[in-house]
Amino acid sequence: MKTAILILSDPSQGQEEALGRVFNALATAYDFKENGAEVSVMFNGTGTRWIAELNNPEHPVFALFEAVKDTIAGVSCGCADVFGSAESVEASGYDYLTENQVPGTRGLPSLYKLSQEGYKIITF
């Protein structure tokens, strides 16, 4: 089974709910990884803002984030541009995902391509 986990929650809004979403997304990635399943984590929309937050060792989800870093496929380039997180994403070294060349953007991940490759897509 192949699973793609999309993190869409915004760390700047509804702190507890947003934290709960990112925590559960990463915990799900951890569960799949620990059970030998193929899993890819992607940050889309306002979820691109999490990169700056999760790289902070003081963040409550930092240890979990570190445990699943190898499952992170990347960050939506167009979303990082639109939601103001491009600078922190570029500083982090994560790859930009650009397969879906949406007009007016530098590209987003292609969910169509993922589905054609047999990925089950889960959003948080």
- Say how far apart CA 65 and CA 12 lie, in whole Å: 18
- Say how far apart CA 2 and CA 45 lie, in whole Å: 22
Could you give the 3-state DSSP secondary structure of residue 121? strand
- The per-residue pLDDT for 47 is 96
Q: Considering its fold, how many domains does the chain have in total?
A: 1
- The per-residue pLDDT for 13 is 79
Q: What is the mean pLDDT of the segment spanning 13-33?
A: 94
CATH of the domain at 49: 3.40.1260
**For 32, what's the count of Cα atoms within 13 Å in the CB-facing half-sphere?**
24
Whether residue 96 contacts residue 77, with contact meaning beta carbons closer than 8 Å, is answered with: yes
Q: Please state whether the predicted TM-score (pTM) of the whole model is above 0.85.
A: yes
Nearest to 68 by CA among 88, 97, 45, 39: 39
- The per-residue pLDDT for 22 is 97
Residue span of the structural domain in which 78 resides: 2-123
Percent of the chain with pLDDT over 90: 89
- The per-residue pLDDT for 20 is 95
